Amino acid sequence: MTDPDPRLLSMLVCPVTKGPLIYDRDTQELRSPRAHLAFPVRDGIPIMLPEEARRLDE
């Protein structure tokens, strides 16, 4: 359970855009390219709250 389950990732959408998310293993983040946000994954637990997300540079 260190990495989120691939099945979960296929079910998840960005809470802001409802668009797809891409898992970045190196940074342990779920990236929403359209929202320019990265949602942290801490100890295998995705934190899907906009206020916890990191803003991605253009």
Partner 1 sequence: MSDVLQDDPGPIHRGRTGSQPRSALDADAVRAAYRRWASIYDVVFGGISAFGRKRAVTAANALPGERVLEVGVGTGLALPHYAPSKRITGIDLSEDMLARARQRVVQRQLGNIDDLAVMDAEATTFETASFDIAVAMFVASVVPNPRRLLAELKRVVKPGGHILFVNHFLATSGPRLAVERGMARASRSLGWHPDFAVDALLPPEDLVRATLLPVPPAGLFTLVTLPHGGSMQSETYRDA
Among 25, 42, 57, 58, which residue interacts with partner 1 (rule: CB under 8 A)? 42
Cα–Cα dist 3/43, whole Å:
8
Cα–Cα dist 58/43, whole Å:
28
In the complex with partner 1, which residue's Cβ is closer, 10 or 58? 10
In the complex with partner 1, which residue's Cβ is closer, 22 or 45? 45
Site string for partner 1, 1-40 (x = CB under 8 A): x--xx-xx--xxxxx-------------------------
Q: Which amino acid is at 37?
A: L
